Structure 1
Amino acid sequence: MADGRIVDIGTGLDGDEVVDCTGTTLLPGLIDCHVHVTVSEINVMHRLYRPFSYQFYEAAQNLRRTLEIGITTVRDAAGADLGIKQAVEDGLLPGPRLQISVNAITQTGGHGDGWLPSGHCVPLSLPHPGRPPSLVDGPDEMRRTARTLIRAGAEVLKVCTTGGVLSPGDDPKHSQFTPAELDVLVAEAAMQGRYVMAHAQGTDGIKNAIRVGIRSIEHGMYLDDEAIDLMLQHQTWLVPTLVAPVNVIRAGKAGAALPEVVVRKAEEVAEIHAESVRRAAAAGVRIAMGTDSGVGPHGTNLEELPLMAACGMSPAEVLVATTSSAATLLGYGDELGRIAPGYRADLVVVAGSAYDLDQLAGNVREVWKDGARVVDSGEPTGKTVRA
């Protein structure tokens, strides 16, 4: 390795230092395509009683925990601003590199609108100078908001084209935003070299997103045959986040302050969600790993992998979805997700077989990012080792 990149691969190579990997498996750095690093739990009352700036210190902890299990790159699906991204890049915080969306675009009354029947408004991510508000209605407001988010540093634009599980006032099966509004968003993103990801759970909202050229469907709970065919035709990605409804159900059972309707929705969609992913995988839809961490605890991201395998994906296919496929979705396919000369030296040393997906997180021994050994036996080091 030199200058943070892999120089050569093989045996008997000459290097300044040698790392003994006997009895282990070497993987590329893992990638999670859907996290919320400023969110640590979905207990609304806990969030309400914490100071505004507390979320940024939580983000530091969440980033560290994510890195420790071998995830060296994440796409933040709303919450992280440019300051958090730059703090990681400058070495102020240990963590995976971030691709950020800044905030999620939603319509009035849509998933992401924090309005409650009481009249109070409690959004998941409060706006601040680095995280502009993103509640919009109509093509003109969509255009302005897209431009504002890009100005704030968004590398991808996230939009909610359906309702969701965590928002008590809407239904995951109902679509949000018209094709005309979504067309404007995709055009604005494309003009600035960006793409769009869609929170999309219901069938009609999924199809609306695919038809206008949105790059990835996040969640994809209610996929029918036509939606799957459209994804294949448009080469649309699916980021399943199978563990997300599981974590909502767990939180409800643990006593989190969640409306009964939220837990009920999670219970209703869990098996439907798995069946949709099973059918999409069998049809050959492009799949990349994502967890919606923040809904569940950060550092447990790899729980997603056995769930993907339970949907018919082989362990090898799951690992591809978590490495090279995820890198391609994020636009990093020429420098991340593979162990090859010229690629960034993001590496994970795993004890035993990496195909043991249930035990993968506990088997991580070392994590390297850009040629620096940042985790050694689960402990961050901050030490650069040239090999």
Structure 2
Amino acid sequence: MKSLILAGSFILLSSGVFAQRTIIHAGKLIDVKSNKVLENQSIIVEGEKIISVVSGFQPISINDRLVDLKDATVMPGLMDMHVHIESQTSPTRYVDGFRDNEADVAYKALPYAKITLMAGFTTVRDMGGTGVNIALRNAINNELVVGPRIYTAGKSIAPTGGHADPTNGVKRELMGDPGPDQGVINGPYDARKAVRQAVKYGSDVIKVTATGGVLSVARDGSAPQFQQDELEAIVETARDFGIHVAAHAHGDEGMKRAVKAGIHSIEHGTLMTEETMEMMKKADTWYVPTVTAGMSAAEYAKIPGYYPPVVRDKAMRIGAQIQDTFARAYQKGVKIAFGTDAGVFPHGENYREFLYLTEAGMPNLEVIQAATLRGAQLLGIEDKLGVIESGKLADIIAVKGDPSKDIAVMQNVIFVMKGGEVFKQSAD
């Protein structure tokens, strides 16, 4: 008889009848759909999903696990739509590429991924690296290492000599002639092959360098880099695969070409004109400002020897302009998703973007919305993430204090749950 009871208990447990629930008591809960702060809410999580959200503090049964966040503000896991998870700024960055093997890049990336998650960013869009970013995404998905959900571009696509040409700045004997396999294209046929190759390697999104860039060892930081037919070939081919294309762009003409081609998002947008803003609104194009990157690059440029001279001059000239562009784009009504360009500055400091965006005029709760719901909409995963509600994946974070009143508290993340699993819980 005893063995039958034990067997019956095993069946009940294995069928999930007694599966442990996690109940979060939230003193404050940010509803990112309505941009309101709700008080005294309970979030019931089972497995990797949110089962329900109820008003008041739900009683706890013997099989439940309680997370007491009555003195904190709870919100969806944050989303950074522009990071470079493989690398981090350093005075030796431009020679590290000659020293580091793929394994070195991978091992260095592990702490960057972990610190990003611990900072409350449960989902990121990686905007280009060596391809190690794809392996890191897979390792995180397979629970081999700790980090955020990664949607990655793999290797960015550029023309010969463009911002993402990996041979910029090296001696001619080392330059070779990289092609679509390395993300370097010339003409629409190359463009199609580069996209197909990126998808074959495992990219979730395509990233193009529509203009020059600040931190590449190339002379110009703002001129357009693709012809219209090349951009159109990239967007059309990506569309066939059902994936988006993001365009790094500082100069206005390159942005116009990208928007005309049907690009999904403009990254940085430093010298964006009101005409381009209107084009973006009409085309429903997203804008990911990355103000923190611009501010950081301008500051690093003041340190003697930190950047090569060609990079230093561009950083001083272009970097700090992004905040003003963001302010104008926001006032104009351009769709904005939160992105920082982490890696240009230390990973884990992504919260600084909250400070810069509110400083430029975006209300606190709208910035949090841009870093949650809007990020999910940009990625096309709003059916799974971005909001704390029944049926969504349980990506939930908490901060000490009330960010609706003091956005600076976003740097003090005390609780991180991703997919129902608690990765961080502290009283600090």
Q: Could you state the TM-score of these two structures normalised by the residue count of structure 2? A: 0.83
After superposition, the C-alpha distances for 1:229-284 in whole angstroms (9 at most, x for unaligned) are 00110110000011112222333344554212312212212343222111100011
Q: Please say if residues 109 and 170 of structure 1, whose CA atoms lie closer than 8 Å, have aligned partners that are also in contact.
A: no
1:295 match: 344
- Does 2:154 align with 1:102? yes
**Matched residues in 1 for 2:199 and 2:418: separation?**
27
| CA drift at 1:83 | 1.8
- Does 2:135 align with 1:86? no
After superposition, the C-alpha distances for 1:90-113 in whole angstroms (9 at most, x for unaligned) are 111111000011110000111112
1:23 match: 71
Residue identity opposite 2:322 in structure 1 = H
Residue identity opposite 2:419 in structure 1 = D
Moved more, 68-77 or 42-51: 42-51
Moved more, 221-230 or 256-265: 256-265
1:384 match: none
Partner SS for 1:72: strand
**Matched residues in 2 for 1:150 and 1:268: separation?**
35
* Pairing partner for 2:381 from 332, 349, 371: 332
- From the superposition, tell whether residues 321 and 268 of structure 1 become closer, same or farther in structure 2 (CA, over 3 Å): same
* Pairing partner for 1:6 from 40, 44, 50: 50
**Matched residues in 2 for 1:36 and 1:97: separation?**
13
1:385 match: none
**Matched residues in 2 for 1:231 and 1:378: separation?**
44
After superposition, the C-alpha distances for 1:66-109 in whole angstroms (9 at most, x for unaligned) are 00110000001112443211100111111100001111000011
Residue identity opposite 1:13 in structure 2 = Q
- Does 2:273 align with 1:224? yes
Greater strand share, structure number = 2
Partner SS for 2:275: helix
Residue identity opposite 2:390 in structure 1 = P
After superposition, the C-alpha distances for 1:287-337 in whole angstroms (9 at most, x for unaligned) are 111111111111111111111112211111111111100111011111111
1:115 match: 168
Residue identity opposite 1:198 in structure 2 = A
1:56 match: 106
- From the superposition, tell whether residues 340 and 121 of structure 1 become closer, same or farther in structure 2 (CA, over 3 Å): farther
**Matched residues in 1 for 2:427 and 2:241: separation?**
39
Unaligned runs of 5+ in 2: 1-44
Residue identity opposite 1:200 in structure 2 = A
* Pairing partner for 2:264 from 167, 191, 215: 215
**Matched residues in 2 for 1:46 and 1:235: separation?**
39
Matches within 5 A, 1:224-303: 224-255=273-304, 257-303=306-352
Q: Please say if residues 231 and 237 of structure 1, whose CA atoms lie closer than 8 Å, have aligned partners that are also in contact.
A: yes
Residue identity opposite 2:53 in structure 1 = I
After superposition, the C-alpha distances for 1:166-220 in whole angstroms (9 at most, x for unaligned) are 1232322200111111111111111111110001110000011111110000000
Q: Please say if residues 44 and 257 of structure 1, whose CA atoms lie closer than 8 Å, have aligned partners that are also in contact.
A: no
**Matched residues in 2 for 1:229 and 1:266: separation?**
27
Q: Please say if residues 269 and 322 of structure 2, whose CA atoms lie closer than 8 Å, have aligned partners that are also in contact.
A: yes
Moved more, 246-255 or 49-58: 246-255
Q: Could you state the TM-score of these two structures normalised by the residue count of structure 1? A: 0.91
| CA drift at 1:341 | 0.7
**Matched residues in 1 for 2:163 and 2:356: separation?**
25
- Does 2:98 align with 1:67? no
- From the superposition, tell whether residues 12 and 248 of structure 1 become closer, same or farther in structure 2 (CA, over 3 Å): closer
Residue identity opposite 1:278 in structure 2 = A
4+ residue runs over 6 A deviation: none
| CA drift at 1:122 | 8.0
- From the superposition, tell whether residues 121 and 75 of structure 1 become closer, same or farther in structure 2 (CA, over 3 Å): farther
Residue identity opposite 1:185 in structure 2 = I
After superposition, the C-alpha distances for 1:14-67 in whole angstroms (9 at most, x for unaligned) are 551221111110010000001111112253134433344211011111000100
Q: Percent identity?
A: 34
Residue identity opposite 1:36 in structure 2 = H
2:236 match: 187
- From the superposition, tell whether residues 151 and 49 of structure 1 become closer, same or farther in structure 2 (CA, over 3 Å): closer
**Matched residues in 2 for 1:164 and 1:319: separation?**
28
Moved more, 44-53 or 141-150: 44-53
Q: Please say if residues 168 and 216 of structure 2, whose CA atoms lie closer than 8 Å, have aligned partners that are also in contact.
A: no
Residue identity opposite 2:109 in structure 1 = A
Residue identity opposite 2:105 in structure 1 = Q
1:33 match: 81
Q: Please say if residues 295 and 320 of structure 2, whose CA atoms lie closer than 8 Å, have aligned partners that are also in contact.
A: no
Partner SS for 1:229: helix
Residue identity opposite 2:58 in structure 1 = L
Aligned residue pairs, count: 372
Q: Which has the higher contact order (CA 8 A, sep 6+)?
A: 1
Residue identity opposite 1:116 in structure 2 = G
RMSD: 2.0
